[in-house]
Chains A and B, each alone.
Chain A
Amino acid sequence: MNLHEYQGKEILSSFGVRIQRGIVAQNANEAVAAAKQLTAETGTGWHVIKAQIHAGGRGKGGGVKLAKNLQEVEDIAGKIIGMNLITPQTSKEGKKVHQVLVAEDVYYPGASETSEFYMSVLLNRGTGRNMIMYSTEGGMDIETVAEETPHLIFTEEIDPSVGLMPFQARRIAFNLGLSGNAFKEMTKFVASLYTAYVKSDASLFEINPVLKTSDDKIMAVDAKVTIDDNALFRHKDYMDLRDIREENAIEVEAKAVGLNYVDLDGNVGCMVNGAGLAMATMDLIKQAGGEPANFLDVGGTADAARVEAAFKIILKDPAVKAILINIFGGIVRCDRVAQGVIDAYKNMGTINVPIIVRLQGTNADIAKELIDNSGLDVMSATEFQEAADKVQAVLSK
C-alpha cells in the first residue's frame, strides 16, 4: 500500500524521526489556515505547497512551489488543487491533485550551509535482508545518480538477528561527511528511521531529500512510504490510510471481488488462473499480433460468479476487441469453469466481442463439449498454440 507524503511523514514522526512539519489542506482556504497555524507553531515565514499524489517527480511537473506570503499560499494552493499533475512517473494524462501539504520552510539561512542527502530502507532480495541505501547526492533522481556516479551510493545491510547496530549508523554519518552535532543528529535519525521501518512493516522508505539544516538538524523533507499489504493485519490503524482515488478505478473494483487485475493499453482482454500463466498468456497474445488489454488472475476458484465479475471488468475497457480465457484446471475442474463461462455469458445477455476459451487439465474434454454445444458465440481450444491461432484469426478479420 502506497502512502501520501503527509501520511508517511506522520508515521515517521510517530517513531521519533524528525520531519519537515506540515498540515494537509483540501482547498485554498484550508491552506491559508494551515499556513497561519504552521507559522504560529514553528515560526516559519515562507511555506512550501506540495501536491499530494502517489508519484514522484512532483516538483518537475509544477506540483511543489514556494509561497512567500499568505496571498501566495492561497493562489498556489488554489492552482495546484484540482490540477492534473503530470510528472515523469505519471501517465501522459497525469494525476488529479485532491490535496496539498502546506509545509514549513526548512532551508532558512544560518551558521552553516544546508546539504541534501538520499536515504532509503528496503529489502535486498538477493540476501533476504533489509538494507539502508544512501547517498551524498540528495534531491536528485537516484536512478541518475546510480547511472552517473554509482560510487556515491552506499549500502548498509542489517543483520536480522541483532538489527541496526550503532557502528552502522556511525558509518553512515561518516560516509555522508558529517561532523559535530550534525553527525550525532544523523546517527539518531538513522536509528529511528530503521525502527520506524521495522515497526510499521514497511516494504519501502525513500527519503529524498534528507536535509541537514543550517543549524545542523537532520530531517526528512519528503517521504515515500510503502506498507507491506500482507502485514496490514497487524496494523489496523493504517488501513484507513489507503487513498483509492490514487488507484485505478477498475483495479479497485476487481480487488473488491477478489480478482487480481492490472489495466493495460491493448486490445485483447484475458482471464487466466495463476499469475505466471497470466503473464505467459499476455506474451502469447502479443506473439499472435494483438496487445494484452489487461493482466487478470482469477485465482483458484474460477466459478460462474467470478467469471462473470471478470467479464464485466474486462468489458469496461472499450478498446477490447476479443477475450481470451485460459484456464489450466488442476484442483479447479474445467467443466465447472466452462459452465461458469456459459452461465455468465447468458446472464450478461449479449457480449459483442468474440471469446476464445482454452481449457486444459482436469475434465478438459467435457468442458470443450459444453462450450461447443452451448450455441454461444464462443470458440474453444485445448492447446495453448491453438488458442493463439484463434486470437490471430479473430484479429485479422
Chain B
Amino acid sequence: MSVLVNKNSKIIVQGFTGSEGTFHATQMIEYGTNVVGGVTPGKGGQKHLDKPVFNTVKEAVDEVGADTTIIFVPPAFAADAIMEAADAGIKVIITITEGIPVADMIKAADYIKGRDCRLIGPNCPGVITPGEAKVGIMPGFVFKKGRVGIVSKSGTLTYEAADQVVKQGLGITTAIGIGGDPIIGTTTKEAVELLINDPETECVVMIGEIGGQLEADAANWYKASGSKKPIVGFIAGETAPAGRTMGHAGAIVGGSDDTAQAKKKIMRACGIHVVDSPAEIGKKVKEVLG
C-alpha cells in the first residue's frame, strides 16, 4: 500500500514539451514512473520522450486512461491547467509551478471543490512512493522504500528528513510535498490523515513552517482521531523574525498561534513527538518506532 501515487498510476505531464517538463519527465521515466504521455496544446499527435503528446487533458484521459497529472505549466497559465485536469476527470493533480497569482488559485480551488479529485500543491516538490512512482522534482535516490510517511511544506527539508530516516536504516512509504503557497489543494491535516489511514505506514513525519494554521489543524485532528500511530514533528522558522512577510490584517486572521513556538506547543499537547533540532528528525523516528 501507499497513498496518492503507485506503480499503477497512469501519469501525464502538463507542460510536457517545455524545458522544465522535459527535464523532470525524463527523470521520472528513468526512475520507472508510469508516465503515459503529456499535454502541450498545439503539439497533439507528436511524440516526446517516446510518449504521446495530446492537445487536451481530456484526450489523454480518453486515449491512454490518464488518472494522475503533474503540472509544470508557467504561472500565468497554471490555474487554467489545474481546472482543465479536474474537468477532464483526473483524480490526482500535482502542481509543481511556483508563483501562481493568488487570485487565480482562489478560482482554481473553488472550481475543484466538490469534484472527485485531489490537488497537491502548487509550489511543491510533488509526491514519491519509493520504488513505484516519483511524481515530482525530488532526487529519487534519497527515498528508500520503507514504513515512514512524510508530509512537508518544503522541498529540500523533505529530502533532508528522508535522508535522515533512511540513514537510520528505515525507509519511506510515501512522501507528500504539500507546498508553501497561501492556497494549497491538500492541507497538512488531509495528508497526515491519508498516511495515518495507510496500513503500511507505521510512523508519520510532519514538517511545517511558521505561518498559518495547517499544523495546528493537523495536530488537533490527530488527537481527536485517537490514532496510536506515532507522528514526529518539526516546525522550521523559530528564528525567523515576525511580521516580515505578513501585513497587519493577516496577522490578526492568523492569530497568535502561528509562530514556531506556539505550533510546537499545540503539537506536543496533541501527542506529537516534536523535535527542536532539524538534525534530530531521523533519530526521533527510530526512537518512537523502537
Contact = CB atoms under 8 A, between A and B. Distances in A.
A360 B160 contact: yes
B122 to A, nearest CB: 11
Contact of B106 (A160, A383, A384, A388): A160
Interface string B137-164: 1110110000000001111111110011
Contacts of B270: none
A34 interface: no
A379 interface: no
A130 B249 CA distance: 13
B236 A280 contact: yes
A350 B106 CA distance: 50
A267 to B, nearest CB: 12
Contacts of B276: 283, 287
Nearest to B102: A228
Interface string A326-343: 001111000000000000
Contacts of B278: 280-281, 283-284, 384
Q: Which interface residue of B100, B101, B213 has the most chain A CB atoms within 10 A? A: B101
B159 A328 contact: yes
A142 B277 contact: no
Contacts of B209: 275-276, 279
B279 interface: yes
Nearest to A333: B139
Minimum-distance CB pairs A-B, first 4: A276-B154, A274-B156, A330-B139, A231-B101
A241 to B, nearest CB: 17
B225 interface: no
Interface string B234-247: 10111111001001
A371 to B, nearest CB: 19
A385 interface: yes
14 contacts: A125-B212, A125-B213, A125-B254, A128-B109, A130-B106, A133-B252, A153-B252, A230-B100, A277-B154, A277-B155, A280-B157, A284-B278, A384-B164, A385-B277
B279 A383 contact: yes
B250 interface: yes
A273 B95 CA distance: 20
B103 interface: yes
B49 interface: no
B210 interface: yes
A130 B253 CA distance: 12
Interface string A195-233: 000100101101000000000000000001010101101
B89 interface: no
Interface of A: 56, 120, 122-126, 128-130, 133, 142-143, 146, 153, 159-161, 198, 201, 203-204, 206, 224, 226, 228, 230-231, 233-234, 262, 264, 272-277, 279-287, 291-292, 295, 328-331, 360-362, 383-385, 388
Contact of B247 (A204, A272, A295): A204
Interface residues on B, range: 35 or more
Contacts of A292: 239
B110 A329 contact: no
B65 interface: no
Given A228-B101, A282-B239, A385-B279, A361 B159 contact: yes
Contacts of A128: 105-106, 109-110, 183
B131 interface: no
Contacts of A231: 101-104
A125 B252 contact: no
A284 B105 contact: no
Contact of B139 (A198, A264, A285, A362): A362
A20 to B, nearest CB: 20
A372 B160 CA distance: 23
Interface of B: 23, 27, 75-76, 99-107, 109-110, 137-139, 141-142, 152-160, 163-164, 180, 182-183, 207, 209-210, 212-213, 234, 236-241, 244, 247-254, 260, 276-280
Given A230-B101, A330-B139, A330-B142, A384 B237 contact: no
Contacts of B238: 283, 286
B279 A264 contact: no
A143 B252 contact: yes
Contacts of A283: 236-239, 260, 276-278
A133 B152 CA distance: 31
A133 B248 CA distance: 12
B169 to A, nearest CB: 15
Q: Which interface residue of A277, A286, A360 has the most chain B CB atoms within 10 A? A: A277
A201 B156 CA distance: 30
A233 B78 CA distance: 14
Contact of B160 (A275, A282, A328): A328
A388 B277 CA distance: 10
Given A160-B110, A161-B110, A330-B159, A279 B210 contact: yes
Contact of A206 (B23, B110, B210, B248): B248
B106 A226 contact: no
Contacts of A228: 101-103
A277 B252 contact: no
A386 to B, nearest CB: 9
Given A142-B248, A262-B244, A275 B180 contact: yes
B153 A160 contact: no
Contacts of A130: 106
Given A279-B240, A385-B277, 13 more contacts: A122-B250, A124-B253, A128-B110, A143-B252, A201-B101, A231-B104, A262-B244, A273-B156, A276-B207, A283-B237, A283-B277, A328-B160, A360-B163
B137 A330 contact: yes
Q: Which interface residue of B155, B212, B213 has the most chain A CB atoms within 10 A? A: B155
B206 to A, nearest CB: 13
Nearest to B208: A276
Contact of B76 (A125, A233, A279, A329): A233
Nearest to B252: A146
A228 B75 CA distance: 13
Contacts of B213: 125-126
Given A122-B249, A295-B240, A329 B182 contact: no
A300 B213 CA distance: 28
A285 B279 CA distance: 11
